Amino acid sequence: MHKVYLRFYEELNDFLPEEKRKKRFAHQYIDRTSVKDLIESLGVPHTEVDLILVNGKSVNFKYLINDGDDISIYPVFESLDISDVQHLRPKPLRKPKFIADVHLGRLTKYLRMIGLDVLYKNNFEDDEIVSISIKEKRAILTKDRGILKRNEVTHGYWVRATKAEAQAKEVLERFDLQKEIKEFSRCIECNDLLKPIKKEKIINELPPKVAKLQNEFYKCPSCNKFYWKGSHYQHMLAFIQSLKNIKY
């Protein structure tokens, strides 16, 4: 029986059982595996990992473990004062775009409400999510760690929170998107970009009270839904304010 020592840092500990969190622990193995397979066998998807040090030197996912290795595993965005290391993530996606799994319909609506580009269908298959993510350079948002363990997935995030508002905050924080917030820019139903539209053009299609009280309107070119600053607007503003106030 061979042995390696492991230490996971920061939020990677979310995936581990209590006794393995935030401490160095020994792990016994019979067959040599890649460090990627070892990490994932402990429940941590490789998309969460940005840096692996073995005996103080950075390695890639293909590194084959050796008896006695001392392995430190760091998450994406963990700031480190170490130069000349091999970061494992490809460069961050410049304009973040997402594809959400079937469990994240409410989160999708929150993210679209603040202007983020999120593809979602309640019948997406895992294979479809993976192939769209690669083709369109979209980060996968998921409640299912399994999908993030696939080799071909490069950008993904396992959403921890269970309530949609908390999930939205979590995603914004993780992808550092506070500056991207832009309300009334995207259709909550279908993800298309909204266009401003003059009141006179649609006045006959509006409920009379809305026509009387509101002057600013947006229309979705795909599903033809109208948007205005109605009663939900105050709630939305409060939510956006809370997102902008996320502390670091």
Sheet strand arrangement including 49-54? 25-29, 2-8, 70-75, 49-54, 57-59
Shortest Å distance, C-beta 112 to Zn ion: 9
Tell me whether residue 142 or residue 191 sits nearer to Zn ion (CB atom).
Answer: 191
Q: Which is nearer to Zn ion, 46 or 112 (by Cβ)?
A: 112
Collapsing DSSP to helix, strand or coil, 148 comes out as helix
Binding site for Zn ion (CB under 5 A): 187, 189-190, 192, 220, 222-223
For residue 221, give the 3-state DSSP assignment: coil
Residue 120: CB minimum distance to Zn ion, A: 12
Q: What is the smallest separation between the CB atom of 18 and Zn ion, expressed in angstroms?
A: 45
Residue 189 CB, shortest distance to Zn ion, in Å, is: 5
The nearer residue to Zn ion, 164 or 188, going by C-beta atoms, is 188
In the chain, which ranges are continuous DSSP H helix? Answer: 35-41, 105-113, 126-135, 145-148, 164-174, 199-202, 208-213, 232-244
**Of 242, 187, 190, whose CA–CA distance to 219 is shortest?**
187
Q: In terms of CB distance, is 107 or 220 closer to Zn ion?
A: 220
Nearer to Zn ion, 92 or 196 (CB): 196
Pairing of the two strands 97-100 and 117-119: parallel
CB of 139 to Zn ion, least distance (A): 22
Task: Write out the two tokens for 72.
Answer: 């430190």
Residue 150 CA, distance from chain mean position = 16
Distances (CA, A) of 167 to 103, 182, 206, 246: 12, 18, 33, 13
- Tokens (6 digits) for 17: 């059982």
Shortest reach from residue 187's CB to Zn ion, in Å: 3
Of 36 and 112, which has the nearer Cβ to Zn ion?
A: 112
Supply 110's token pair. 């929150």
Q: What share of the chain is helix, strand, coil (3-state, %, to 5)?
A: 35, 20, 45
- Asked if 220 and 192 count as a contact pair (C-beta separation under 8 A), the reply is yes
Nearer to Zn ion, 65 or 194 (CB): 194
Whole-number minimum distance, CB 245 to Zn ion, in Å?
29
